[in-house]
């Protein structure tokens, strides 16, 4: 029996308020409340496990694992400690670690149906990985799927009533602005384009991207401008709203979309085809950087894999993977602004030339410059810390300042994190986070934002916007059922 001291009573009050914030989907506020409770009762497992759950909702899986571990240390019989740690490890793709905790939890609660389902999904994932490893082909012997696609064999049937590319007189087709605009309307009406045209967009995009360096320089004339958008995450109708607010892409109205085009939202196919089609139509009108979700492991769990197979085919998914591997990792705008999806690096000596030379035609590694480009996050405190996500690192304002000074830059723009107002200025004005998926996953209540830079001064100008209605297809509709049990 715990003595109800003033300290215990206050901790329970903090927990009750944090629980309310969690229920109302204010997860960052919930973390604060659970932290206050933990400070008063650090040996109470429930507070640690509850904070782990809030970190999971914020996609801070590294912090969730640390908190769940503390819960287990405080009470080795507390089932939710193992449950939460298993959830976080699964979300990071660490299926073998997840299985250990879920099996331990299952022994303590053998009749819990959610737990049995999660354990089954985790075991399937491990079997799938072992199967893929057994079939793995040495890199020197790999045949690229894109090189085997025969567009001419894909006849466009007379019965197909959707938008058609312009015939080129030689049995082929050419992409036009009219087609891209009609395609966007087709997607808006929840219809797809013919696979012949879809594959052509992919193959032409791959060819364009393959010729780019890993860091791309974008000049902006003094009288010109460029708009930088953050994560879109399959929220196609919010992407259309961005174009309504800021105009369609063109050579005079260019965009840079900063990664995480797909996953989570259930219209990722529509988003990525729209962005790639504009890129193919006029390469200077849109620039696309790679996010951590343009990867095989993330797509298998968070929905893009299942969505492409449902709407087209597994063959198309293989081509998407090859396209994603050629997306640049970073951009420098007008020699002043570095744009990349995640953040900065574990080393002080990283130069822009180092980024240009990164070998990117691969799935993201677990460490190194490419990993940090895609996964790192800023932190308010100086120095470098372990990542709250469990991948990459956290870097402080001193790291940002030193990197900018070393490379003659003025500003870092990154994405990768939900922000309530759609953007956040940090690190003494030297770092901006921009996130363009409002009401993320239909539950976060955040605004979206984009940033416009005028070439004359490269000062950031922010536009925020609310989510718009979309058809009744829930986020994560194509994701791993394990993750839907976590939502």
- Active-site residues: which are they? 293
Helix (H) / strand (E) element for 425: namely strand 423-426
Helix (H) / strand (E) element for 481: namely helix 481-486
Listed residue (440, 447, 445, 442) closest to 472, CA to CA:
442
Phi, psi for 316 (deg, rounded to 5): -65, -35
Q: Map 43-107 to HEC letters.
A: CCHHHHHHHHHHHHHCCCHHHHHHHHHHHHHHCCCCHHHHHHHHHHHHHCCCHHHHHHHHHHHHH
Residues 6+ apart with CB under 8 A from 376: 342, 343, 344, 345, 387, 392, 393, 394, 395
Listed residue (388, 385, 440, 397) closest to 418, CA to CA:
440
Specify which residues 339 forms β-bridges with: 331, 413
H helices present in 75-189, as ranges: 79-91, 95-108, 113-135, 177-188
Q: Give the separation between CA 432 and CA 411, rounded to whole angstroms.
A: 8
Residues 6+ apart with CB under 8 A from 67: 48, 49, 51, 52, 55, 84
DSSP string covering 190-225 = T-PPPHHHHHHHHHHHHHHHHTS-SEEEE---TT-E
Q: Are strands 330-333 and 337-340 parallel, antiparallel or unpaired?
A: antiparallel
Answer yes or no: are the C-beta atoms of 295 and 324 closer than 8 Å. Answer: yes
Crossing angle of helices 45-57 and 6-23, in 10° steps, is: 20
Q: What SS3 class is residue 343? A: coil
Listed residue (165, 304, 178, 316) closest to 236, CA to CA:
304
Tokens of residue 274, six digits: 């729209």
Q: Are strands 166-167 and 173-174 parallel, antiparallel or unpaired?
A: antiparallel
Q: Are strands 448-454 and 225-229 parallel, antiparallel or unpaired?
A: antiparallel
């Amino acid at each position: 029996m715990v003595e109800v001291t003033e300290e215990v009573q206050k901790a329970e009050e903090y927990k009750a308020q944090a629980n309310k914030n969690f229920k109302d989907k204010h997860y960052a506020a919930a973390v604060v409340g659970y932290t206050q409770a933990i400070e008063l009762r650090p040996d109470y497992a429930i507070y640690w496990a509850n904070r782990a759950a809030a970190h999971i909702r914020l996609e801070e899986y590294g912090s969730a694992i640390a908190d769940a571990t503390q819960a287990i240390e405080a009470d080795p019989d507390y089932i939710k400690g193992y449950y939460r740690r298993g959830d976080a490890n699964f979300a990071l793709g660490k299926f073998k670690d997840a299985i250990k905790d879920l099996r331990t939890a299952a022994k303590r609660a053998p009749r819990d149906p959610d737990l049995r389902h999660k354990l089954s999904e985790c075991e399937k994932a491990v079997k799938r990985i072992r199967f893929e490893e057994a079939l793995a082909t040495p890199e020197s012997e790999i045949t690229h799927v894109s090189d085997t696609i025969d567009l001419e064999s894909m006849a466009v049937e007379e019965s197909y009533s959707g938008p058609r590319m312009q015939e080129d007189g030689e049995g082929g087709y050419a992409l036009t602005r009219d087609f891209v605009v009609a395609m966007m309307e087709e997607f808006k009406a929840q219809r797809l384009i013919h696979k012949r045209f879809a594959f052509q967009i992919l193959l032409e995009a791959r060819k364009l991207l393959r010729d780019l360096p890993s860091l791309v320089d974008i000049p902006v004339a003094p009288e010109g401008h460029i708009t930088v958008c953050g994560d879109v995450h399959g929220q196609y109708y919010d992407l259309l709203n961005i174009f309504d607010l800021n105009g369609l892409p063109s050579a005079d109205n260019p965009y840079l979309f900063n990664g995480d085009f797909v996953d989570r939202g259930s219209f990722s196919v529509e988003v990525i085809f729209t962005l790639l089609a504009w890129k193919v139509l006029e390469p200077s009108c849109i620039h696309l950087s790679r996010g951590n979700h343009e990867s095989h492991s993330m797509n298998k769990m968070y929905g893009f894999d299942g969505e492409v197979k449902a709407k087209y085919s597994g063959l198309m998914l293989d081509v998407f993977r090859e396209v994603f591997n050629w997306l640049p990792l970073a951009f420098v705008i007008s020699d002043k602004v570095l744009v990349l999806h995640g953040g900065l690096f574990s080393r002080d000596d990283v130069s822009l030339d180092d980024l240009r030379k990164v070998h990117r035609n691969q799935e993201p590694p677990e460490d190194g410059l490419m990993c940090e480009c895609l996964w790192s996050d800023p932190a308010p405190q100086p120095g470098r810390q372990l990542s709250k996500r469990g991948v990459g690192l956290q870097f402080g304002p001193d790291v940002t300042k030193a990197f900018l000074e070393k490379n003659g830059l003025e500003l870092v723009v990154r994405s990768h994190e939900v922000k309530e107002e759609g953007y956040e200025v940090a690190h003494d004005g030297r770092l901006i986070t921009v996130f363009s998926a409002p009401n993320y996953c239909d539950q976060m209540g955040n605004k979206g934002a984009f940033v416009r830079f005028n070439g004359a001064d490269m000062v950031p100008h922010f536009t925020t916007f609310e989510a718009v209605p979309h058809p009744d297809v829930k986020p994560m509709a194509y994701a791993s059922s394990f993750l839907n049990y976590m939502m």
